[in-house]
Amino acid sequence: MAMNEKVKQKFIETWGAMGSLWGINTSVARVHALLMVSEKPLGLDDISEELKISRGNASMCLKELRNWGVIKKARETGDRRDFYLSEDDVWTMFIRIVRERKRRELDPAVDSVRKVLAESKDDGSDPKVKARFSQMNEMLETMNSLAEAFLKSDEDAKAALSLLSNMVKMRD
Amino acid sequence: MAMNEKVKQKFIETWGAMGSLWGINTSVARVHALLMVSEKPLGLDDISEELKISRGNASMCLKELRNWGVIKKARETGDRRDFYLSEDDVWTMFIRIVRERKRRELDPAVDSVRKVLAESKDDGSDPKVKARFSQMNEMLETMNSLAEAFLKSDEDAKAALSLLSNMVKMRD
DNA sequence: CAATACTTTCAGAATATATTGAATATAACG
DNA sequence: CGTTATATTCAATATATTCTGAAAGTATTG
């Protein structure tokens, strides 16, 4: 019991710290971790109590996790409360997180550089600056195509990852 | 002239915003952008003036960029000041940024999960929690191997990226 | 459709991160 | 080796992010 709690706690804090390194709010990551190791679906109060965060904060974290697509709502008959479950497959989870990060981090950058490049096309501005923009654009477009191909579906992504992983293992 | 300045400014602010999305300090990214489009090496004062940031801050930003390995120091004879130049190849730059992010974001996570997993090996704690830890560990180790294989050298990484990129282009 | 049981929102407070600039360190020069 | 020119550090301050909790919103029940 005590041991269970200790390792569970460690899992939650480890995942929280990882989230923080990855630009994900620590509370969001802790809520996610709690749901990942929970035997049964948890409600807002369970989460708020267990992690010692306000109900308001817990609600925001759940909203965020729903946006990431890594948790599921599960209502029980005769109960008005919402309960939440974590997506079960770690790889699916990983891919969804990468997909959401692409949407937040790469897409706006691609858009922004595309736009400035188009605007400055024939305006006689410094060739070095234009060349830089053009290189940036090419790089971002390449990364974008790669990411889109890889992330097309959860299944494709899992297959690609497994293939790459085996290629790497093989070489050793 | 005015046009040059405008597009240059836009490049700097675009790169700054991208950096911010990617968890890189905005000032660091702006200094990097300025060096990328500069015709000649720039000193601390040039940077501080042009970007309207303090000399102290500029110094910290340059230190950070040196850590990322994306700028070079270039001293001129008869001048005590340090001047800086940006790495010229966008792909090399990209790969170095990814390498540094791996070091900061993935490596500590891998370490941390490895450690807790080893500690809880035979302690009779909740199997579901242990299973989660084990899955996390497997995923992180896989990503780590992939990243290490990919990032081994700038050249290998560029080759792999080019290969992948062509594979994706081919399919369309 | 009013009462109830919950969830969400959001202004203000708490916390964390980034920036400044004066003090300190370092290195080149004569 | 002292002087000078420059770079770096870091305590104080400014800014941005996260969290709280009470108020507003939404669904379900009888």
pLDDT at B3 (0 to 100): 66
Q: Which nucleotide is nearest to B51 (CA to C1')?
A: C19
Does residue B96 share a domain with residue B78?
A: no
Instruction: Please identify, among B43, B66, B86, the residue that sits at the C-terminal boundary of a domain.
Output: B86
Question: Which among A11, A105, A164 has the least Cβ separation from residue B22?
Answer: A105
Place of tokens 């790669």: A146
pLDDT at A1 (0 to 100): 58
pLDDT at A92 (0 to 100): 93
Residue A2 reports pLDDT greater than 80: no
Q: Which nucleotide is nearest to B58 (CA to C1')?
A: C19
Q: What total of structural domains would you count in chain A?
A: 2
Instruction: Please identify, among B86, B114, B145, the residue that sits at the C-terminal boundary of a domain.
Output: B86
Does residue B29 share a domain with residue B73?
A: yes
B140-159: per-residue pLDDT in tens? 999 999 999 999 999 999 99
- What's at B78, amino acid-wise? G
Q: Are B144 and B110 in contact (CB under 8 A)?
A: yes
Does residue B167 share a domain with residue B96?
A: yes
Q: How confident is the model at residue A3 (pLDDT cuts 50, 70, 90)?
A: low
Q: What is the ipTM of this complex?
A: 0.88
Does residue B116 share a domain with residue B159?
A: yes
Q: Which helix (H) or strand (E) holds A73?
A: strand A71-73
Does residue B114 share a domain with residue B78?
A: no
Residue nearest to nucleotide C18 (CA to C1'): B25
Q: What is the dihedral of CA A110, A111, A113, A114, to 10 degrees?
A: 110
pLDDT at B1 (0 to 100): 57
CA-based nearest residue in chain A for residue B91: A139
B75-128: per-residue pLDDT in tens? 998 899 999 999 989 999 999 999 999 998 899 989 988 988 888 888 877 888
A73-127: per-residue pLDDT in tens? 999 988 999 999 999 899 999 999 999 999 988 998 899 889 888 888 878 778 8
Does residue A34 share a domain with residue A58?
A: yes
Does residue A99 share a domain with residue A79?
A: no
Residue A172 reports pLDDT greater than 80: no
Is the Cβ pair B7, A125 closer than 8 Å? yes
Q: Are B25 and B64 in contact (CB under 8 A)?
A: yes
pLDDT at B6 (0 to 100): 87
Q: Name the residue range of residue A77's domain.
A: 2-86
pLDDT at B150 (0 to 100): 93
Footprint of strand D on the protein (CB under 7 A): A 25-28, 52-57, 60, 78, 80; B 43-45, 55-56, 59-60, 62-63, 79-82
Does residue B77 share a domain with residue B6?
A: yes
Q: How confident is the model at residue A21 (pLDDT cuts 50, 70, 90)?
A: confident
pLDDT at A129 (0 to 100): 87
B5-62: per-residue pLDDT in tens? 888 999 999 999 989 888 899 999 999 999 999 999 999 999 999 999 999 999 999 9
Does residue A76 share a domain with residue A94?
A: no
Angle between helical axes of A107-119 and A127-151 (0-180°, round to 10): 150
Could you please report the per-residue DSSP string of A15-66?
HHHHHHHTT--HHHHHHHHHHHH-SS-EEHHHHHHHHT--HHHHHHHHHHHH
